[in-house]
Copies of this chain bind each other. A is one copy, B any other.
């Protein structure tokens, strides 16, 4: 292992789509443990998530990333040195590791990493068993509250969260319609994942297709996209529908011209609610999700899919892939072999 730590630091605040030049890849000395209660982690995979675009723009549920700071990212790695009895070299962990080869993390407190669940491959630990799978699980079940027989509409359905939402809704006895871009994605949703139907927003009139596919309306709309897709779903709510607001990926690179849903008053006409949530609020309930997801995976009722970009230097491009709709399943960046 070299003494060099490759680190991506934010150098300019992105205007519109993130560019390679918004970040600088620097070679810095590998960090060392400075005292007790610290661990040194060799990063293996970075999780690539739409919410990272928000961290570049303003203070939200986390402070904005400062210019000159390491690009913040969730990810997983292997402990290579520890000055805490809770972690030993060789342990696989996940946490806020950042776009870099190595990171020193505290062993305790809110910034401490978690050990990966035993027997779960690192890639899946960052996908179905990671932030995106948990987001799907709690967002759908706790905010969306699907009932057996409900029609569930999922936008961004071929993304990491969307694919899990649709499959969990199927397990709960719902009829599931996904919205995604392109035939490859829609065929995969219906062919491999068992969605009842999938709408290709690049080729079809989304609102008209929802009307055809859900003539009695949509009971739960899990929303990752925003813009025209959000409006299309709101057009066809059933009475007392639940709109689970998870993301608005269509607007993240252009927040100034972001539009709101012009038909939001359909929430009144259908006595429906639209509700936001943030997954960090559910971290004390991770155990119940892990148990269900693990059981379903073992029983073959749910599948995971990983989309890997190879090499730390691909991190900015991998982040762009999300907004370009190029990823199918969970986008990761692989930094080193596990």
Asked if A188 lies at the interface with its beta carbon under 8 angstroms from chain B, I say no
Chain A interface, number of residues (Cβ within 8 angstroms): 31
Query: Do B273 and A269 have beta carbons less than 8 Å apart?
Result: no
Assess whether A270 is interfacial by the CB under 8 Å rule: yes
The residue on B at minimum CB distance from A248 is: B265
Name the CB-closest residue of B to A261: B260
**Stretch of A29-37, A92-100, A274-282, A325-333 lying at the B interface:** A274-282
- For the complex, is A295 an interface residue (Cβ under 8 Å from B)? no
Distance in angstroms between the alpha carbons of A173 and B267 in the assembled complex: 28
Is the beta-carbon distance between B268 and A246 smaller than 8 angstroms? Answer: yes
Q: Smallest CB–CB gap between A210 and chain B, Å?
A: 18
Q: Is the CB of B260 within 8 A of A268?
A: no
A139 CB to nearest B CB, Å: 10
A237 → B minimal CB distance (Å)? 10
Per-position 1/0 for A236-267, Cβ under 8 A of B: 00000000011110010000001111111111
**Pair B264/A268 contact, Cβ less than 8 Å:** no
Cα A247 to Cα B231 in complex, Å, equals: 18
Can you pick out 30 interface pairs between chain A and chain B where the beta carbons lie within 8 Å of each other? Answer: A60-B269, A61-B269, A226-B265, A231-B260, A245-B268, A246-B268, A247-B268, A248-B265, A258-B262, A259-B259, A259-B260, A259-B262, A261-B261, A264-B264, A265-B276, A266-B276, A267-B274, A267-B276, A268-B276, A268-B278, A269-B276, A269-B278, A271-B276, A271-B278, A272-B275, A272-B276, A273-B276, A274-B274, A274-B275, A275-B275
In the bound complex, residues from chain B placing their C-beta under 8 Å from that of A277 are 268, 271
Bound CA span A281–B269, Å: 12
Once the chains bind, are B262 and A245 in contact (CB under 8 Å)?
Answer: no
Contacts of A247 in B (CB 8 A): 268
